[in-house]
């Protein structure tokens, strides 16, 4: 038999516990603290947008289209990014690295592509960059005439970057 909150009369015992988000930081368990940095499936952190825009401007300009139709970015894992940027590629042991997948639509020419002299450089309308979210180092590059088989929006919220012709080189 339980004691009511009003005294010794039988009834239900009311137990009040604070809501997890109303506790002080000292009483908050580690498991519910907000992680720092980008999270796959979540929006691109505003703190990363400027740096990503500068990188996208340099690549777009370097590959022949300083004013692409659009440039999008999404936070995902490297394994998922590769399904869109370079379908069929895998990187064993690095699949869960958090990355930014940057996609652009425009008219691009990859003049830096390795190969024998003589053949024309690869061209495409869709350029993909995979950028490590911690270091901002480019890890993968893709260029295609067709839209990617995996749309970036399938990985999480898409952020569109403003890229201009006057981008610094």
Q: Given this model, what pLDDT does residue 146 score? A: 92
What is the chain's length? 169
CB-CB contact of 164 with 54 (8 Å): no
Q: Given this model, what pLDDT does residue 112 score? A: 78
Identify the band that residue 89 occupies on the pLDDT scale cut at 50, 70 and 90.
confident
90 in a structural domain: yes
13 in a structural domain: no
Rounded to two decimals, the pTM is 0.74
Mean pLDDT (the chain, rounded): 79
Q: Read off the pLDDT of residues 157-167 as tens digits, 9 standing for 90 and up.
A: 999 999 875 44
69 in a structural domain: yes
Closest CA to 166 of 60, 72, 49: 60
* Token pair for 146: 């067709």
Q: Read off the pLDDT of residues 38-70 as tens digits, 9 standing for 90 and up.
A: 999 999 999 999 999 999 999 999 998 989 999
Q: Given this model, what pLDDT does residue 168 score? A: 41
Q: Given this model, what pLDDT does residue 165 score? A: 54
Domains contained in the chain, number: 1
5 in a structural domain: no
Is the pLDDT reported for residue 22 higher than 60? Answer: no
* Token pair for 23: 């506790």
96 in a structural domain: yes
Q: Given this model, what pLDDT does residue 47 score? A: 94
The better pLDDT of the pair 82, 28 is held by 82
143 in a structural domain: yes
Q: Map residue 104 onto helix, strand or coil.
A: strand
167 in a structural domain: no
60 in a structural domain: yes
Q: Read off the pLDDT of residues 129-138 as tens digits, 9 standing for 90 and up.
A: 999 999 999 9
Range of 73's domain? 46-160
Q: Given this model, what pLDDT does residue 36 score? A: 67
């Amino acid at each position: 038999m339980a004691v009511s909150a009003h005294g010794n009369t039988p009834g239900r015992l009311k137990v009040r516990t604070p809501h997890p988000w109303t506790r002080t930081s000292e009483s908050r368990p580690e498991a519910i603290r907000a992680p720092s940095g980008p999270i796959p499936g979540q929006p691109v952190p505003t703190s990363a947008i400027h740096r990503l825009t500068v990188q996208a401007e340099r690549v777009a300009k370097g590959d022949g289209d300083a004013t692409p139709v659009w440039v999008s970015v999404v936070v995902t894992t490297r394994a998922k990014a590769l399904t869109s940027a370079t379908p069929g590629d895998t990187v064993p042991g690095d699949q869960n690295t958090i990355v930014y997948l940057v996609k652009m639509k425009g008219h691009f020419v990859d003049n830096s592509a390795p190969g024998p002299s003589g053949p024309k450089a690869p061209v495409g309308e869709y350029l993909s960059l995979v950028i490590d979210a911690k270091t901002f180092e480019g890890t993968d590059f893709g260029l295609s005439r067709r839209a990617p088989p995996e749309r970036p929006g399938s990985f999480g919220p898409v952020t569109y970057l403003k890229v201009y012709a006057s981008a610094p080189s």
